[in-house]
């Protein structure tokens, strides 16, 4: 990692990756647009694009047994000078739907960068398709990485996940959790607190039927935990008049308590939970974990949690030996945690993951003899360690309960090896077609 690792004290901006051609490590971690859209029960995805764009999503679908819910329309070079792209897409989608065993309730139609550069009239396409298939909810989706600086495809996908929800009468005691790819643990204080106050919680991750998904429109409020779900929350507020509360997934005690306070005050909750007991239990669990793991070096990557700097701070505060964070950019929300690390653990290392030199950091043939624990698949790959926590976007972790679960995962990672090579190359663990 010569020249690309930066110590916390030397970080003068939030960018760890300084630009240039980009590397892609074999560790996948996060869910892609193809995986996220599978969360809508019984929906069908149709992609329109060149084979180089279609192949990745087709094979992702094949990998999670989702090909029955996946189709595609191939774009060729001559389409670029042809003026009938709209008609071709309309006829292609019609042909696909007529071939399926049954017409799905929801179709996610993905355009790629080229449609937007050749100014394909997608309004016409969707209008015509809705006329032809009035019982199908058509959702416009985007595989447009070229436009990522304006709106990240991930953010756009998370907002379109809820685009098929329609205005419904609101239930005052029903609330949604939106934007996650894993359902949060029902043992978390978030669930406990809301259920204690009589709320029903809906989450796309747990919807089994399309009507259950549609009933999310009856919720009066959305809770989101990831910045990439902010667009979804804003759109639902504007379209369905659903309020939103942002409760970022964090690991330090003070911020977890801030979340609980915010939730209580926003919803005027009358019943509370005893956070002191939760904190004490969590501290005990942390101590037990520390006794087992000791000073084993720990690295964290950005695919494990959006708040990787906050997680690092939490672990450092509790005397764990976090020596490195793999990330390319640090979210401004993490600035205070970054400043804390700079002040208290200035030698903590930050490493990019897409710098071209990362290619030579590690290959699986170069084994390290020292035991290191990685939190996240990319950290596991770069450290070449089989001792890792396979955490993706915080998985089911939330609040104090999440910390206790993380402690269990750390102990497991310390005690047991995982088949890192085979685990890390599978995209979006847990996604099923």
Partner 1 sequence: MKRVSYRLSSYSSDLFGVASALFELGGLTVIHDASGCNSTYTTHDEPRWYDMDSMVYISALTESDAVMGNDRKLIEDIIKTAEESKPKFIAITSSPLPMIMGTDFKGIARIIQKHTRIETMGFNTNGMNTYDVGIAESLSELALRFCKKDAQSGTAATAKTGTTSDPARKTGAKKINLLGLTPLDFSINGNAEELKKYYESIGYKVLSTWAMGNTLEELIYGAKNADLNIAVTTAGIKIAETLKEIYGTPYIAECPVGKDFHKSKTLSKTGTRSEKIVIIGEGIISLGLKKCLLNEFNFKDVIIISPLKLSSLFLSKEEFLQKNELILNQNFFTTDEEEDIEQIVQNADIIIADPLYERIISYGKSCDKNSTCAQKKFIPFAHEAYSGRIFHKTLPVFIAGHATEWLKKFF
Quick one: 25 or 348, whose CB is closer to partner 1? 25
State the Cα–Cα distance between residues 411 and 83, nearest whole angstrom.
60
The nearest distance, CB 356 to partner 1, in angstroms, is: 5
CB of residue 96 to partner 1, shortest distance in Å: 4
> Smaller CB distance to partner 1: residue 95 or 287?
95
Residue 72 or 286: the one with the smaller Cβ distance to partner 1 is 72
Least separation in angstroms between residue 99's CB and partner 1 is 5
CB of 316 to partner 1, least distance (A): 32
Q: Shortest approach of partner 1 to residue 104 CB, angstroms?
A: 12
CB of 376 to partner 1, least distance (A): 17
Determine the Cα–Cα distance for residues 260 and 266; give it in Å rounded to an integer. 10
Q: How far is the CB of 425 from partner 1 (least distance, A)?
A: 7
Burial state string for 348-365 with b = 16 or more CB within 10 A and e = fewer than 16 = bbbbbbbbeebeebbeee
Please give the helix or strand (H or E) that residue 343 lies within, else none.
Answer: helix 335-344
Q: Please identify, using beta-carbon distances, which residue of 28 and 202 lies nearer to partner 1.
A: 28
Nearer of residues 77 and 254 to partner 1, judged by Cβ:
77
* Binding region for partner 1 (CB under 8 A): 19-26, 28, 49-56, 58-59, 62-63, 67-68, 71-77, 80, 88, 91-92, 95-96, 99-101, 112-114, 117-118, 143, 145-150, 356, 359-360, 363-365, 421, 425, 427
Closest CA relative to residue 61, chosen from 43, 45, 49: 45
**Nearer residue to partner 1 within complex by CB, 23 or 210:** 23
- The bridge status of strand 6-7 relative to strand 349-351 is antiparallel
Asked if 182 contacts 395 with a C-beta cutoff of 8 angstroms, the reply is yes
Please report, to the nearest 10 degrees, the dihedral formed by the alpha carbons of residues 335, 303, 6, 387 taken in order. Answer: 130
Look-up: residue for tokens 């389409």? 79
Separation CA 30–CA 22 (nearest Å): 18
Torsional sign, CA 420, 252, 336, 222: positive
Question: Is the Cβ–Cβ distance between 165 and 379 less than 8 Å?
Answer: no
Smallest distance, partner 1 to C-beta of residue 48, A: 10
Beta bridge partners of 246: 224
Tokens of 378: 């990319």
Question: In the bound complex, what is the minimum distance in angstroms from residue 197's beta carbon to partner 1?
Answer: 43
- Of 326, 284, 290, 323, nearest to 305 by C-alpha is 326
Nearer to partner 1, 287 or 360 (CB): 360
Q: Are the C-beta atoms of residues 74 and 12 closer than 8 Å to each other?
A: no
Q: Strands 349-351 and 243-246: what pairing? A: unpaired
Q: Which is nearer to partner 1, 102 or 268 (CB)?
A: 102
Q: Which is nearer to partner 1, 90 or 216 (CB)?
A: 90
Cβ-based nearer residue to partner 1, 83 or 238 = 83
Residue with tokens 């990692």: 1
Which residue is listed with tokens 């549609």? 214
Q: Which is nearer to partner 1, 58 or 411 (CB)?
A: 58
Query: Minimum distance from CB of 67 to partner 1 (Å)?
Result: 6
Please report how close the Cβ of residue 357 comes to partner 1 at its closest, in angstroms. 8
Nearest CA to 60 among 35, 28, 29? 35
Strand order of the sheet with strand 243-246?
200-203, 171-178, 219-224, 243-246
Query: What one-character DSSP code corresponds to residue 97?
Result: H
């Amino acid at each position: 990692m010569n020249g690309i690792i930066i110590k916390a004290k030397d970080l003068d901006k939030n960018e760890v990756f300084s630009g240039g051609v980009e590397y892609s490590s074999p560790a996948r971690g996060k869910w892609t647009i193809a995986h996220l859209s599978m969360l809508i029960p019984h929906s069908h995805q149709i992609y329109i694009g060149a084979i180089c764009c279609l192949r990745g999503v087709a094979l992702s679908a094949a990998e999670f047994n989702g090909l029955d819910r996946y189709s595609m329309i191939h774009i060729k070079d001559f389409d670029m000078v042809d003026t009938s792209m709209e008609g071709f897409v309309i006829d292609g989608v019609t042909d696909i739907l007529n071939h399926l065993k049954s017409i799905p309730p929801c179709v996610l139609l993905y355009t790629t960068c080229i449609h937007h550069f050749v100014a394909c009239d997608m309004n016409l396409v969707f209008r015509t398709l809705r006329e032809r298939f009035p019982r199908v909810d058509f959702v416009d989706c985007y595989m447009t990485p070229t436009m990522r600086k304006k709106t990240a495809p991930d953010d756009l996908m998370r907002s379109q996940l809820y685009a098929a929800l329609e205005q419904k009468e609101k239930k005052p005691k029903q609330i949604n959790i939106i934007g996650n790819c894993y359902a949060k643990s029902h043992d978390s204080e978030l669930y406990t607190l809301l259920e204690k106050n009589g709320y029903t919680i809906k989450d796309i991750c747990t919807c089994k039927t399309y009507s259950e998904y549609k009933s999310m429109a009856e919720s009066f409020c959305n809770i989101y935990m990831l910045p990439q779900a902010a667009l979804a929350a804003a759109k639902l507020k504007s379209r369905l008049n659903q309020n939103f509360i942002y409760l970022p997934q964090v690991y330090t005690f003070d911020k977890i308590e801030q979340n609980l306070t915010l939730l209580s005050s926003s919803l005027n909750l009358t019943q509370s939970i005893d956070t002191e007991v939760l904190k004490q239990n969590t501290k005990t669990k942390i101590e037990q974990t520390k006794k087992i793991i000791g000073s084993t070096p720990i690295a964290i990557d950005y695919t494990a949690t959006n708040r990787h700097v906050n997680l690092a701070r939490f672990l450092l505060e509790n005397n764990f030996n976090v020596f490195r964070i793999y990330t390319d950019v640090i979210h401004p929300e993490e600035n205070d945690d970054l400043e804390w690390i700079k002040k208290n653990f200035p030698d903590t290392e930050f490493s990019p993951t897409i710098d071209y030199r990362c290619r030579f950091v590690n290959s699986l043939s170069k084994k390290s003899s020292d035991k290191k624990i990685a939190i996240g698949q990319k950290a596991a790959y770069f450290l070449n360690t089989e001792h890792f926590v396979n955490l993706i976007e915080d998985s089911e972790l939330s609040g104090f309960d999440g910390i206790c679960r993380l402690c269990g995962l750390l102990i497991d990672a310390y005690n047991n090896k995982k088949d890192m090579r085979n685990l890390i190359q599978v995209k979006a663990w847990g996604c099923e077609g």
